[in-house]
Structure 1
Amino acid sequence: MRRARRTASHDDGPHPLADEAEGYLLARLHHDDARREAEDLCARLPWLTTAQAEELARHYVRHRIGLTRRMLLSTLERADQLRQEYESRYSALRRALLRRHAAGACAVLAGAAAVSTLVRLLDR
């Protein structure tokens, strides 16, 4: 399965129509793959009647599409879990970095104030 790359556009917002078309094409591709697999399976079983082969093919396609749907849904769930984990980790790292920068800025200001005070005291 090959997936076409999207070209970068000036508007990086969501494109629902493009996403829907891509989803339809992917679903169609999975269905066609399942149909080809079912036909290959039936071809390896020459003793089946035409009606039996058609029924087996329908059953196989239904089963394969259901399996693909479950796999995609579990992938989506895992992607959502990972996104949440990464977002929480990013937030924690960002807060820690902000605290460190604030502490560093305070230390620099305190040092500058101390040096300024020391210079004034030595000037007297």
Structure 2
Amino acid sequence: MSGRPEPPAGDLAAGLARVEGFLLAAHETAAARAEAERFADRLPWLLSAQRDDVVHHYADFRLASARRQCDAVAARCTELRAEYEQRYARLRLRLVRTCVAAVLTAVPAAVGLACLVSRLA
């Protein structure tokens, strides 16, 4: 189409993840600023410079809080992933053992049945 090679799928996914992260961060920053503005609006006695300072500090506090929450969620996701991977590995091992046991039980039984049938015939 454009003559340029297509980027590998991993690069494309990583790029989309970065764009998504940027958009989420921009949205959170705008939301924090709007919340700070609403908070400062409830303090009509503040001078202009004081109001700007309150808005700035409130937005910074709100963003830091959101960052801590996001980090906590990410850490918990990592813990859960490790836990579920470990659980999946145990279940997979149990399934393999069960299948092997079933085969080892069924083969001698089938051989014995075949011998019995051949003697009767």
- 2:49 aligns with 51
Deviation at 1:46, TM superposition (A): 0.2
Q: Which amino acid aligns with 1:23?
A: G
- 1:4 aligns with none
Q: How many residues align?
A: 113
**2:53 equivalent to 1:29:** no
Q: Which one of 96, 99, 103 corresponds to residue 97 of structure 2?
A: 99
**Could you tell me the TM-score, scaled by structure 1's length?**
0.84
Equivalent positions of 1:55-94 (< 5 A) are 55-94=53-92
After superposing the two structures, state which structure 1 stretch, 57-66 or 109-118, moved more. Answer: 109-118
Structure 1 residue runs of 4 or more that deviate by more than 2 Å after TM superposition: 11-14, 116-123
**Could you tell me the TM-score, scaled by structure 2's length?**
0.86
| Long gaps (5+) in structure 1 | 1-10
Deviation at 1:67, TM superposition (A): 0.6
In structure 2, do the counterparts of structure 1 residues 58 and 16 end up closer, same or farther at CA, with 3 Å as the change threshold? same
Q: Distance in 2 between matches of 1:68 and 1:111?
A: 63
Q: Which amino acid aligns with 2:67?
A: R
Q: CA RMSD in A?
A: 1.6
Q: Distance in 2 between matches of 1:42 and 1:69?
A: 22
CA offsets 1:35-88 (integer angstroms, 9 cap, x no match): 001110111100000000000111011111111111001100000111111111
Deviation at 1:16, TM superposition (A): 1.2
Identity, % of aligned pairs?
Answer: 35
Q: Distance in 2 between matches of 1:112 and 1:76?
A: 53
The DSSP-based 3-state class of the residue aligned with 1:46 is coil
Q: Distance in 2 between matches of 1:98 and 1:63?
A: 52
- 1:6 aligns with none
Deviation at 1:13, TM superposition (A): 4.5
